[in-house]
Amino acid sequence: MSKGLKAAADAILQQAVSGEPRVPGVVAMATDRSGTVYEGCAGQRTLGEHAAVTMDTVFAICSATKAITGTAVLQLVEEGKLDLDAPAKLYVPEIGKLKVLEGFDDAGQPRLRAPKRDVTTRMLMLHTAGFGYDIFNEQYRRLAEAHGQPSVLTASKASLDTPLLFDPGERWEYGSNMDWAGQVVEGITGKRLGEVMAERIFAPLEMTSTAFTMTPSMRSRLARVHQRGDDGSLTPMLDFELPQQPEVQMGGHGLYATVGDYCRFIRMWLNDGVGENGRVLRAETIRAAEKNGLGDEKIRLLPGVIPALSHDAEFFPGLPKSWALSFMVNDVAAPTGRPAGALGWAGLANLFYWIDRKNGIGGFWATQILPFGDPVSFSAYLAFETAVYDSLSRRRAA
């Protein structure tokens, strides 16, 4: 760890937890191909309680789960057990029963029709299958409010039983695709998704504090999610917790983890699929998976249609961004120093990560705040990423 990076990053974390407004607590880590190049933490796990954030603090990582589910999917492709371009209903029959939502009739009832083509697992990985989230889509929000469609946060089978917003393959829409991809994994393996991840990803990567159901040790280190008020205040959501005995282990958002564990996962992607205790993915799989899979299509701003859960949110506004299997890809260099072709994404409670395979660097920033796109956490994360690249540039110039 360079002294310059440590001083710069430590200052960013301290400002994040002591400024006005602030974040309750944060853990940040950066890794290169060999190991950790920065780690730091500041603040409290839960405001109003005495426990400080530590490097082994456990977070609900929300949509950072997606990339791990994607890795499990890619392992099955390597083994010849999964064809990304075959109908996903071959592995999960229920997905073949879903219809396309064409709007609502005069009585407010959904108008549904059969889709023109089948959903494939590749579409699920690329978010082009037709699924959305009520957090970011007005039609799904209407289904939830007027027709009782359960939130995916309930981790119920009923929450996945949503209509498609358009015919599969037609465009990009961020949604519950990776929850369905997790069901594909379960359909092929005959095991629950968490068991597959534990055997095939967590064990070889030594990710000992990552799971859908927290162990007693993980729970003792848990940071609680906080709600940001309009006045900038933070209120601990002591009753908010992802279901610990979920009907569905949600491949799109259900994991709890430490930042150190997630950086082991990032390091595996930096190292062409090799982890602490062996290979997780083939190098050629990684190289194929990191490519833009959308063609000329670009991902768009996520509109926060449920203000308590998300602001309007977008990485690097004004710059073109695509999607890979299954990450965001920035098509041009970003202001932080992240180069074109790097991978990254986020989690709803304001967690952010990136994987820069070109330079062999990546990192993770974890807070627990709603709504998503929190200006304080997000701006501090971007400052942290910039500090990592500034340090990298100085090291190369020396």
For the chain, give every domain's residue range: 3-65+190-397, 77-186
Q: Is residue 397 very low, low, confident or very high in pLDDT (cuts 50, 70, 90)?
A: confident
Alpha-carbon distances of 305 from 137, 140, 145, 393, rounded to whole Å: 6, 10, 12, 40
Q: What is the pLDDT of residues 260-279, one digit of tens each?
A: 999 999 999 999 999 989 99
Residues identified as active-site: 63, 66, 174
* Mean pLDDT score, 186-206: 98
Q: Is the pLDDT of residue 1 over 80?
A: no
pTM exceeds 0.85 for this model:
yes
pLDDT at residue 136 is higher than 80: yes
Decide: residue 281, CB within 10 A, 0-12 exposed, 13-18 middle, 19+ buried.
Answer: buried
224 pLDDT above the threshold of 90 = yes
pLDDT tens track for 327-349: 999 999 999 999 999 999 999 99
Of the candidates 159, 206, 175, the residue with the CA atom closest to the CA atom of residue 66 = 175
The fourth-level CATH superfamily of domain 3-65+190-397 is DD-peptidase/beta-lactamase superfamily (3.40.710.10)
